[in-house]
Amino acid sequence: MKLLSRSIWLGCIFAAVRACDDHGPEARDGHSHTHNTRAIPSAPLTPPSRALEWGDINIIHTTDSHGWLLGHQKSSFPEPNYSGDFGDFASFVQHMKELSIQKNVDLLLVDSGDLHDGTGLSDGFPAGGVDAHDANKFFEQLPYDVLAIGNHELYDYVNALDMHQNFVPKFAGRYLSSNVNITIPDKHGKPTSVPVGSRFAKFKTRKGRKVTSLGVLFDFTGNAQNTTVQKVEDMVKEQWFAQAIKDEPDFFLLVGHMPIARDNWPLVFNAIRAIHPTTPILILGGHTHIRDCLQLDGRSMSLESGRYMETVGWLTAKLDKRGSKKNITFSRRYLDPNRITYGYHTGRYSPFFDTTQGKQITQGLKQLSKNFDLDFQFGTAPHDFTLSRSPYPSNDSLLTLFIENAIPVALAVNNTRSSTPNIMITNSGSQRFDVYAGPFTKNDQLTASPFADAFLYIPNVPLGIAKQVLPTLNNEGAEERRSLLEEREKTEYGLGYVDRRYKAWLEDMDRRNMIEGRDTDHTKNLTLGYVTKDACPGVGDDTPHMPLPFYSSPDFIGSQPPNLPDDAPVDLVFVDFIQSQLIPVLNTLQKDKVYANSDVASYSPILANAALGLYAQSAWSK
605-609: average pLDDT: 97
Query: Regarding predicted confidence, which is higher, 35 or 288?
Result: 288
Class of domain 377-474+554-619: alpha beta
Mean pLDDT over all residues of the chain? 91
Question: What pLDDT band is residue 1 in, cutting at 50, 70 and 90?
Answer: very low
Coil/strand/helix, residue 310: coil
> pLDDT by residue (tens digit) across 309-362?
999 999 999 999 999 999 999 999 999 999 999 999 999 998 899 999 999 999
Task: With residue 366 as reference, give the H or E element that holds it.
Answer: helix 356-371
What is the predicted pLDDT for the residue at 519? 55
Does 377-474+554-619 match 2-371 at the fold level? no
Task: With residue 312 as reference, give the H or E element that holds it.
Answer: strand 312-318
167-193: average pLDDT: 97
What pTM does this model have? 0.92
Coil/strand/helix, residue 50: coil
Distance in angstroms (rounded) separating the CA atoms of residues 124 and 131: 8
| β pairing state of 312-318 and 106-111 | unpaired
Question: What pLDDT band is residue 591 in, cutting at 50, 70 and 90?
Answer: very high
> pLDDT by residue (tens digit) across 412-467?
999 999 999 999 999 999 999 999 999 999 999 999 999 999 999 999 999 999 99
Positive or negative, the CA dihedral 184, 189, 190, 194 is negative
| β pairing state of 175-176 and 31-33 | unpaired
pLDDT at 248 over 70: yes
116-133: average pLDDT: 96
pLDDT at 159 over 60: yes
Nearby residues of 428 by Cβ (< 8 Å), 6 or more positions away: 392, 399, 553, 554, 555, 556, 557
> pLDDT by residue (tens digit) across 383-395?
999 999 999 999 9
What is the predicted pLDDT for the residue at 3? 33
| β pairing state of 312-318 and 300-305 | unpaired
Percentage, residues of the chain above pLDDT 90: 87
Determine which of 19-28, 264-273, 526-535 has the lowest per-residue pLDDT on average.
19-28
Q: Which amino acid is at 345?
A: H
Distance in angstroms (rounded) separating the CA atoms of residues 346 and 84: 15
Reference 571, options 452, 430, 418; nearest CA is: 418
Reference 485, options 419, 422, 579, 556; nearest CA is: 556
What is the predicted pLDDT for the residue at 482? 64
What is the predicted pLDDT for the residue at 481? 56
> pLDDT by residue (tens digit) across 566-579?
999 999 999 999 99
559-595: buried (b, 16+ CB within 10 Å) or exposed (e) per residue? bebeeeeeeeebbbbbbbbbeeebbebbeebeeeeeb
118-133: average pLDDT: 96
Question: What pLDDT band is residue 525 in, cutting at 50, 70 and 90?
Answer: confident
Written in H, E and C, the secondary structure of 432-465 is CCCECCEEEEHHHHHHHCCCCCCEEEEEEEEHHH
What is the predicted pLDDT for the residue at 42? 52
What is the predicted pLDDT for the residue at 33? 41
pLDDT at 22 over 60: no
Question: What pLDDT band is residue 475 in, cutting at 50, 70 and 90?
Answer: confident
DSSP string, 233-281: HHHTTSHHHHHHHHS--SEEEEEEES-SSSSSHHHHHHHHHTT-SSS-E
76-93: buried (b, 16+ CB within 10 Å) or exposed (e) per residue? bbbbbbbbbbbbbbbbbb
Percentage, residues of the chain above pLDDT 70: 90
519 class by beta-carbon count within 10 Å (0-12 exposed, 13-18 middle, 19+ buried): exposed
Domain 2-371 indexed as CATH 3.20.20.210: no
Distance in angstroms (rounded) separating the CA atoms of residues 181 and 194: 5
Q: Which long-range contacts (CB under 8 A, 24 or more apart) does 22-25 make?
A: 22/366, 25/377
What is the predicted pLDDT for the residue at 5? 35
Question: What pLDDT band is residue 4 in, cutting at 50, 70 and 90?
Answer: very low
Distance in angstroms (rounded) separating the CA atoms of residues 472 and 468: 6
- Max intra-chain CA distance, the chain: 79
Where in the chain are the domains? 2-371, 377-474+554-619
What is the predicted pLDDT for the residue at 29? 35
pLDDT at 131 over 50: yes
What is the predicted pLDDT for the residue at 23? 31
